Chain A
């Protein structure tokens, strides 16, 4: 086996303002930042030519290529010519390949732009996105108008499929989560109410809490994660597979074909799921009240029914209706604006959930203020 020799990289002054870079030995994992600083100093001394030699070169790796490549680049920047004739053929070929300028970027990267330029770009981007969202909402309204006038091309079979997915198939998870939320509400309330000896009011607390808002919010969060993300992923994948292009070139409205059935399905499913969540939450509360706090069963339900208020219940259902619109719009918008690679489907899915949850919270705030003003 050949014995390894130490790398030797030297810079020497030759005649006629030439600089000689000679490399010998085994150049493996060579890392000496000082070398380039020295090279730059030497190049600055009226160097007209850089001669690269590699006599007695042993084993080498990419660190040698970096030395050669950077040296040539720095020499060119300093206006010096490079003589590679003393390099082995394979190194000469690699350098030719590295400096072949058959393709250069035709437009600049946005990385490293000045702050103000970035700010300007972000502002324009934001305005463009707002305009896109408004346009999208307008198209949805037009599509709903076409559907009302029986001119929509929405396929009944698609509508039934998405309705089944976001309705009956969501019953299990919605029931379980709502039951647990009712249970948690009852536990949290019971700890406080017990100090006043008013445990029985757990029934009122759970009933009002679930019916007014908690039921709708829990359903909204579940459906944003379960159904909204699925809309974004399905439509995003269609974008990647060019199915959206195919729809467009066949003259189909993407909104009628993809968005409308999903929107209508959620508009039907969400209020019903909200009612289910209200009931399951109340059962969860009763479970804690009756089995853990030993409250009489009849008494518990008497208080629960007394606390039940139709206005609260309808406000909750209205929340569910609004959340349905938000989830469908966010899911479909993210999917339709997805990029054309696998990464973008993941991004679109995440965006759909985040957007839906943020807008549901905003909507809850708005509805609460309106209800307060109306005395509801």
Chain B
């Protein structure tokens, strides 16, 4: 039996003004998947993520998230989708003037009626889930890059989202921290059943966590391949995908 669909993208053009980065993208993200958006630098991965998260509008086509097309949805509907989504940005994007606990409590203050004490406990729990127990009252400037990403993830999980987006989670991390973050992503996906969309070009992460993926190509401005990363490596549809997945080796 096929899984229900969390994100359904049809005929999507991504770009800025007259400049189109990606044409006619069609794909689906199933609920509970760890979905990878991969491709070389400049192929439009991060812009695709910006469209999915509503930061930029699609030039054409539809993006249906949990049954609502974000291109035509009302402000209230978009707000509802945002409540049920979390995002981990490349830099963590923690608010530097707030402690980690305050960062996590911020979306709770906006969207829930919890008492301050409960919010604080929830923030403590979320930090514990990402391995940052005891860091509640630390400021972002007082922790390392890897810890910032974990704290960013804790904030992304603040409202128990259905979908969590990751923008280049491994960027700037050493291999061990990167691996630990991959493990954390898998753990959250398994234990909470959260659908996860990851934009990355880190091969180690792609093969370690991805259950499904799309490969974006800058020269054709299209989705060149779809499928599980390991499957794409076994049966690459073309040279470009094979080269990408093998760090530039030529297909024999």
Q: Is the CB of B82 within 8 A of A243?
A: no
**B93: contacting residue among A102, A106, A246, CB under 8 A:** A246
Q: Are B110 and A242 neighbours in the complex by a CB distance under 8 Å?
A: no
Chain A residues whose CB sits within 8 angstroms of the CB of B110 once the complex forms? 153, 250-252
Say whether A248 faces chain B, with CB atoms less than 8 Å apart.
Answer: yes
Q: For the complex, what is the distance from the CA of A241 to the CA of B95, rounded to whole Å?
A: 9
Does A249 have its Cβ within 8 Å of any Cβ on chain B?
yes
Tell me whether B19 and A248 are in contact (CB under 8 A): no
Are A251 and B90 in contact, CB atoms less than 8 angstroms apart?
no
Q: How far is the CB of B2 from chain A (nearest CB, A)?
A: 29
Mark B residues whose CB is within 8 Å of A.
Answer: 18-19, 42, 50, 53-55, 79, 82-83, 85, 87, 89-91, 93-97, 106-107, 110-111, 155, 218-219
19 contacts across the A-B interface (CB closer than 8 A): A103-B42, A106-B19, A158-B97, A241-B91, A241-B93, A241-B96, A242-B89, A243-B93, A243-B94, A243-B95, A245-B50, A246-B87, A246-B155, A248-B54, A248-B55, A249-B87, A250-B82, A250-B107, A251-B110
Q: A153-B110, A241-B96 are in contact. Are A249 and B82 (CB under 8 A)?
A: yes
Identify which of residues 200-240 in chain A touch chain B, using a CB-to-CB cut-off of 8 Å.
Answer: 238
Known: A249-B55, A251-B82, A252-B110. A242 touches B218 (CB 8 A): no
Whether B82 pairs with A245 at a CB distance below 8 angstroms is no
Residues of B within 8 A of A153 (CB): 110
**Seed contacts A107-B18, A161-B97; 19 additional CB < 8 Å A-B pairs:** A103-B42, A103-B218, A103-B219, A106-B19, A107-B19, A153-B110, A241-B91, A241-B93, A241-B96, A245-B93, A246-B89, A246-B93, A246-B95, A248-B54, A249-B55, A249-B85, A249-B87, A251-B79, A251-B82
| Chain B binding surface, main DSSP class | loop
Residues in B with CB closer than 8 Å to A242 are 89-91, 93
Write out the residue numbers on chain B whose beta carbons fall within 8 Å of the beta carbon of A158: 97
For residue B223, give the distance in angstroms from its CB to the closest CB of chain A: 18
Kindly list chain B residues whose C-beta atoms are within 8 Å of the C-beta of A248: 54-55
Q: B159's closest neighbor in chain A, by CB? A: A250
Which residues of A101-155 have CB atoms within 8 Å of chain B's CB atoms? 102-103, 106-107, 153
In Å, the complex CA distance between A158 and B42 comes to 37
| Nearest CB in chain B: distance from A197 CB, A | 59
| Assembly CA distance A251 to B53 (angstroms) | 11
Q: Which residues of B contact A249 (CB under 8 A)?
A: 53-55, 82, 85, 87
| Interface positions of A from 330 to 350, Cβ below 8 Å from B | none
Going nearest first, the 3 A-B pairs with the smallest beta carbon separation are: A242-B93, A246-B93, A242-B89
Q: How many residues of A contact B (CB 8 A)?
A: 18
Q: Which residues of A contact B18 (CB under 8 A)?
A: 107
Q: Which single residue of chain B is at the shortest CB-CB distance from A245?
A: B55
CB neighbours (8 Å) of A251 from chain B are 79, 82-83, 107, 110-111
In whole angstroms, what is the CA distance A242 to B89 when docked?
A: 7
Contact (Cβ within 8 A) A250 B106: yes
A243 to B93, CA, bound (A): 5
> Chain A, 254-279, contact with B by CB distance < 8 Å: what is the 0/1 string?
00000000000000000000000000
Question: In the complex, what distance in Å separates the CA atom of A106 from the CA atom of B89?
Answer: 27
Residue of A nearest to B165 (CB): A249
CB distance from B59 to the nearest CB of A (A): 14
Residues of A within 8 A of B95 (CB): 238, 243, 246
In the complex, what residues of A have CB within 8 A of residue B19's CB?
A: 106-107
Cα distance A251–B110 when bound, in Å? 9
- Chain B residue contacts of A161, Cβ below 8 A: 97
Across-interface contacts of B111 in A (CB, < 8 A): 251
A75 to chain B: closest CB distance in Å?
26
Within 8 A of B (CB), among A145-188: 153, 158, 161
Report the Cα distance A248→B107, complex, angstroms.
Answer: 11
Q: Complex formed: what's the CA distance from A161 to B50 in Å? A: 32
Instruction: Kindly report which residue of chain B lies nearest to residue A244, judged by CB atoms.
Output: B93
Provide the bound-state CA to CA distance between A102 and B42, in Å: 13
In the bound complex, residues from chain B placing their C-beta under 8 Å from that of A250 are 82, 106-107, 110
Q: Judging by beta carbons under 8 Å apart, are A245 and B107 in contact?
A: no
B155 to chain A, nearest CB (A): 8
In the complex formed, the residue of A with least CB distance to B81 is A251
Tell me, in angstroms, the Cα distance from A238 to B110 when the chains sit together: 20
Contact call A245/B79, Cβ cutoff below 8 A: no
What residues of B have a CB within 8 angstroms of the CB of A241 in the complex? 91, 93, 96
Q: How far is the CA of A243 from the CA of B96 in the complex (A)?
A: 9
User: Nearest Cβ distance between residue B135 and chain A, in whole angstroms?
Assistant: 19
Smallest CB gap from A251: residue in B: B82
Q: How near does chain B come to A375, taking the closest CB pair, in angstroms?
A: 48
Instruction: Give the docked Cα–Cα distance between A86 and B54 (Å).
Output: 57
Complex Cα spacing A251 to B108, Å: 12
Closest residue to A153 on the B side, CB-wise?
B110
Give bound CA distance, A238 to B98, whole Å: 13
Contacts of B87 in A (CB 8 A): 245-246, 249
Task: Pick the most buried of A107, A248, A249: most chain B CB atoms within 10 A of its CB.
Answer: A249
- Bound-state CA distance A250–B152 (Å) is 12
Q: What is the CB-to-nearest-CB distance from A247 to chain B, in angstroms, rounded to a whole number?
A: 8
Given known pairs A107-B19, A250-B106, A250-B107, the reply for A245 and B89 (CB within 8 Å) is yes
Give Cα A238 to B94, complex, Å.
9
